[in-house]
Structure 1
């Protein structure tokens, strides 16, 4: 049912002249779903208060609640089309009254860690792009069918929402930066193994895939108590995101995974000087796939000790500074970070090796990131002690990766298991840091254990073999003649 509802909404958006792409579809679906979710959340809280004999103060004024503007219903439980806004009236209300009203919560909320502030942020950043009020009326009616009450409902909705994010990532260059294959994220989390009481951070949060998967991982393993749930909800997961649409998608994704007021800040992470990062700003675990290939302006580069325009290299400095001593990190990055010979790259590798134990490098196959023709590696490091030995693993799924053959969890099972003992195999090897060139700190992926292919035969060898075969053939033919 949920899947069909999403498909129906997409079909309507496809027909509307205001929504042009998968990016628009998910943005528009997100704000509608958010208001539907908020209505359920408020109803649940009002019911809980009533059971305690208390009054509940609604966040939204009556006029702007879902049941009044989106789905006014008659006694039969169906939409009362006599009072329900539609056509130009509906669009005029949404654009002229609803969005401005909701955006004001950003100014009036008590703090950034409240659902009120998130409401204000979302509706300050997004615009309604649905131009036909008749299309919007249909979408609202479909959204009203989505149940948010049970954890099973939320789980199914979050799964479908993830699928939409994945499709958006496949749709083009802009969307791709928000999507990291979930099997890779899950493998990274298993290796890093975040524990209850630790803080988890992604400074390039995108659609919050790392934080959502870390939440699932920790929730499944924790002792189910009110205190633990509160810690997981409020004081475990933190993120920053620069792009408007990604920020909204990330907030919605975390809400669907069960986090009511996500600690996601809408900001340019690289706009903060790493010299201002104090111990209280640091985290136990960092999981991230920072954007690469971007170029930052000179004034942003001044925030870092190693000056470079490459976005991913600046993010790496931010992560190194944001990790607590004893903290653990797993970061996806372009493989050129291991071998580039410019001063910034060499300085970054030196800093990483001297301040952290870079214990594992996972070399990903081409095609891991759909639509992106870059080779990537995952760096696993612990902060506090210098690196002495690096274990490399070359992932080879045994097939060409692509849209029809994406990465799956099974592909990473051997890596996760072998990573515990770090053995030498045909796909893995160890590198002693003491043996590398300390003028370049080159950490390129060079597998010394690849089985040697048999050398090509020379023309002389081939001719000699042909002569032997000819002689054997003649002997056989002679034997046959004698028998005849």
Structure 2
């Protein structure tokens, strides 16, 4: 957790960027990202130099800075005068970043790859000095502080991006990761990763629930080298997303440039065991470049439907997904909508539909959304679908999104965990605990007026594969007894008489 003092420094630097003419939050974060990367490069080489000195062989592995590039190292830059620092940064450091494509001993390939288009836009030496001082004070040995600081930077993004992009709130990411419960063996993907929030959420879950990723050599290597995969076609987002992963302590994530809906994604079929995503709901689509395989599954130009088809394609058999979709996916009447819902219900296991309140994504957007949970089987498996109607998420549902006491999210977690861990109810066995019945049974027995309930597959099929919770939820209307009309008329007549009498008395007093 970052301190108020450090937050204050970030806010002052943010204000300085604004005063300097850089008002785009993404550009501010991008410029800070470049400096964080430069500091990281220096630390990589310093570590290699210390290792060579300790071994006494003089061989420096993972050389980043050649002998004639030592002035580009962070340890030198931060001690330069303001004018010299500004000149070196614009004339030498950024050309160096753009050319940096070496493997760096496997420690920086992902990050260096995203620096090819690096641009230096800090307008003056005074602002650069402030930002360098801030970055130099970040305790980068503390992974939690690094991650919290970068999340605080990302929280400054307060407007929707292009192509229907907007940042998923951290507490919604945490909920979805908890529902998926990734393990050290999983291979996790977000095909529309943006700032890599879902992948970061998965790292935090794994560190908390599976400490073996730090102690087991196989788990540790998989965690750093093969577990995390994120794709996007926004290069700015890729730079920020890859740095977000680095700040959260992942050494070599696969954060790559890709239009996930194009033909290029075909070779990843069946590769991932977990997908976590909030794909774009709108925006441009190059129909000609869209994967023929996806169009074969669902012929549409709607990106949210194409992404759902993509998720099914990318998942391995038995793989699980938690993805955010706009409400239209749940009840849309087009052939594409119905076919995709039928595919989920009939050919795979649709596990849950969690309706989110419409203010969850404010101030980015007021779109109404839901979380779909499903498992790829290829042979069906949907018996019952669990529905949950989230009323509150711990924040006000207006643009300000102030924290509030009420939240349904912990109840969602508790009920989902109990539902997925409880086995089938054996009605012939004697209960071992007479104080509580299995949660699976209680969820099945919950009335359609409750916030959560189960709906059998047959009923969903009967309703044309409609997945909107309002189709199945029952609304209880409070019975109100109304007075007889003649009684109301009599009371009105009495009041009229009293008013007329009062007016007559007032008139008499004035005459």
Q: 2:200 aligns with which of 212, 215, 219?
A: 212
Kindly state the Cα deviation for residue 42 of structure 1 after the two structures are TM-superposed.
Answer: 2.6
Matched, 1:334 2:326: yes
Q: 2:121 aligns with which of 129, 132, 140?
A: 129
Alignment root-mean-square deviation, CA? 2.9
Kindly state the Cα deviation for residue 176 of structure 1 after the two structures are TM-superposed.
Answer: 8.5
SS in 1 for 2:484: helix
Matched, 1:11 2:12: no
Residue in 2 that maps onto 1:475: none
Looking at structure 2, the residues matched to 255 and 213 of structure 1 have their Cα atoms a distance apart, in angstroms, of 13
5+ long unaligned stretches in structure 2? 420-439, 495-511
Looking at structure 2, the residues matched to 176 and 412 of structure 1 have their Cα atoms a distance apart, in angstroms, of 25
Instruction: Tell me the alpha carbon deviations over residues 440-468 of structure 1, each in whole angstroms, 9 at most, x when there is no partner.
Output: 4221222655551224544626937997x
Contact 2:273 2:316 in 1 (8 A): yes
Looking at structure 2, the residues matched to 408 and 292 of structure 1 have their Cα atoms a distance apart, in angstroms, of 30
Structure 1 range deviating more: 385-394 or 318-327: 385-394
Residue in 2 that maps onto 1:401: 397
Kindly state the Cα deviation for residue 370 of structure 1 after the two structures are TM-superposed.
Answer: 1.5
Q: 2:359 aligns with which of 357, 367, 370?
A: 367
SS in 2 for 1:60: coil
Q: 2:76 aligns with which of 72, 86, 95?
A: 72
**How many residue pairs align between the two structures?**
448
Kindly state the Cα deviation for residue 239 of structure 1 after the two structures are TM-superposed.
Answer: 1.2
Residue in 2 that maps onto 1:43: 46
Contact 1:393 1:428 in 2 (8 A): yes
Residues 278-293 of structure 1: matches in 2 within 5 Å? 278-279=269-270, 282-293=271-282
SS in 2 for 1:314: helix
Residue in 2 that maps onto 1:104: 99
Matched, 1:428 2:416: no
Instruction: Tell me the alpha carbon deviations over residues 299-339 of structure 1, each in whole angstroms, 9 at most, x when there is no partner.
Output: 13353221222112111111100001011110011011011
Q: TM-score, normalised by structure 1?
A: 0.84
Q: 1:261 to 1:162 in 2, by over 3 A?
A: same
Matched, 1:315 2:307: yes
Q: 1:268 to 1:275 in 2, by over 3 A?
A: closer
SS in 1 for 2:116: helix
Structure 1 range deviating more: 33-42 or 267-276: 267-276
SS in 2 for 1:103: helix
Contact 1:388 1:433 in 2 (8 A): yes
Contact 2:163 2:284 in 1 (8 A): no
Contact 2:163 2:280 in 1 (8 A): no
Residues 466-481 of structure 1: matches in 2 within 5 Å? none
Kindly state the Cα deviation for residue 395 of structure 1 after the two structures are TM-superposed.
Answer: 0.5
Kindly state the Cα deviation for residue 234 of structure 1 after the two structures are TM-superposed.
Answer: 1.0
Q: 2:6 aligns with which of 2, 6, 11?
A: 2
Q: 1:157 to 1:104 in 2, by over 3 A?
A: same
Kindly state the Cα deviation for residue 22 of structure 1 after the two structures are TM-superposed.
Answer: 1.5
Q: 1:274 to 1:49 in 2, by over 3 A?
A: closer
Contact 1:368 1:406 in 2 (8 A): no
Contact 1:181 1:369 in 2 (8 A): yes
Q: 1:15 to 1:274 in 2, by over 3 A?
A: closer
Q: 1:134 to 1:92 in 2, by over 3 A?
A: same
Q: 1:392 aligns with which of 357, 382, 387?
A: 387
Residue in 1 that maps onto 2:177: 189
Q: 1:457 to 1:445 in 2, by over 3 A?
A: same
Residue in 2 that maps onto 1:480: none
Q: 1:156 to 1:408 in 2, by over 3 A?
A: farther
Looking at structure 2, the residues matched to 36 and 449 of structure 1 have their Cα atoms a distance apart, in angstroms, of 55
Q: 1:437 to 1:119 in 2, by over 3 A?
A: closer
Residues 53-452 of structure 1: matches in 2 within 5 Å? 53-54=56-57, 55-57=59-61, 58-65=63-70, 68=72, 71-72=75-76, 79=79, 84=80, 86-87=82-83, 90-106=85-101, 108-109=102-103, 114-149=106-141, 153-168=142-157, 170-174=158-162, 177-222=165-210, 223=212, 224-227=214-217, 228-272=219-263, 276-279=267-270, 282-303=271-292, 304=294, 305=296, 306-371=298-363, 372-384=365-377, 385-386=379-380, 387-397=382-392, 400-402=396-398, 403-405=400-402, 410-419=407-416, 420-421=418-419, 423=443, 424=446, 426-437=450-461, 440-446=464-470, 448=472, 450=474, 452=476
Contact 2:353 2:387 in 1 (8 A): yes
5+ long unaligned stretches in structure 1? 471-484
Instruction: Tell me the alpha carbon deviations over residues 84-135 of structure 1, each in whole angstroms, 9 at most, x when there is no partner.
Output: 3644x655543443223222233x4489xx4443343222133111121332
Instruction: Tell me the alpha carbon deviations over residues 318-369 of structure 1, each in whole angstroms, 9 at most, x when there is no partner.
Output: 1100001011110011011011111111111112222321111100001101
Looking at structure 1, the residues matched to 472 and 344 of structure 2 have their Cα atoms a distance apart, in angstroms, of 24
SS in 2 for 1:180: coil
Structure 1 range deviating more: 120-129 or 153-162: 120-129
Q: TM-score, normalised by structure 2?
A: 0.80
